[in-house]
Amino acid sequence: MLKRYNILALAGGDAATVEDFRSQSEGHILPAIGFGQSLDFPSVEGLRKLFSEGKLWAISEITAQYSGIAPDDLRLDPYFALAEELDIPVGIHLGPGPPGTAYFATPEYRASAGDPMRLEAVLIRHPHLRMYAMHAGWPMSDAMIAMLYAHPQLYVDVGILDYAYPERDFYAYLRRLVDAGFEQRIMFGSDNMIWPDAIPIAIRRIQTAPFLTARQKRLILHDNAARFMRIEG
């Protein structure tokens, strides 16, 4: 799917798995490291080493919300400090998990730990941090807009919302962000995990959104991420 749609993807997870993906992607994958769903966090020095080896483009996805840890928890601060020092992006999970996940899969998950307002202390402590809120903080659009307004270095992506959510709900949420004036800080995302066909569905939902102009579609599908990730071409 990455080759078919000419996508440059940011793939996160275990370092060995990401390198395996990269070896088969013919240049379509940038490497990231994700962590947080368990409390087995990687060492900062280990991440620094991966960066020096060209195996770390971003720290993403930080899924600490599944452990009940909000972004402003100081256990995460060393990773934000490292990312600011190395000038690499950070993607943090804010918003939805599987429905009812706290009762069957991830008992420590807390919806309240995904409140976009919990980003503020982090952004103030690390003003040069390139951070994006994954899933655009759904469904807390008011808080997400407040953070985007107050902190111009913050971006969002619309991963999983653009294929797994009802079209009416996704479009309403996306339009709320666009109408608030943040069309230049919304990035496409798939959050594809096990179903490659989710990628073209997600692309098509952006391409056919009736309220987006051609320029806005290009911004979301390409330009905003290229600017944020500092990718030429």
d(CA 191, CA 120): 24
The per-residue pLDDT string of the chain (233 residues; one tens digit each, 9 = 90 and over) reads: 999 999 999 998 888 899 999 999 999 999 999 999 888 899 999 999 999 999 999 999 999 999 999 999 999 999 999 999 999 999 999 988 899 999 999 999 999 999 999 999 999 999 999 999 999 999 999 999 999 999 999 999 999 999 999 999 999 999 999 999 999 999 999 998 888 999 999 999 999 999 999 999 999 999 999 999 999 76
| C-alpha dihedral (119, 124, 127, 133), degrees to nearest 10 | 10
In the block, residue with structure tokens 């998990």: 97
3-state secondary structure of 35: strand
pLDDT at 14: 83
**Burial of 25 per CB tally in 10 Å (0-12, 13-18, 19+):** middle
Nearest to 189 by CA among 11, 57, 36: 11
148: left (phi over 0), alpha (psi -120 to 50) or beta: alpha
pLDDT at 15: 85
3-state secondary structure of 155: strand
pLDDT at 233: 60
d(CA 169, CA 187): 18
191: left (phi over 0), alpha (psi -120 to 50) or beta: left
pLDDT at 70: 97
pLDDT at 185: 98
Other Cβ atoms less than 10 A from the Cβ of 107: the count is 11
| Pairing of the two strands 9-11 and 154-157 | unpaired
pLDDT at 232: 78
Domains present along the chain, CATH in parentheses: 65-229 (3.20.20.140)
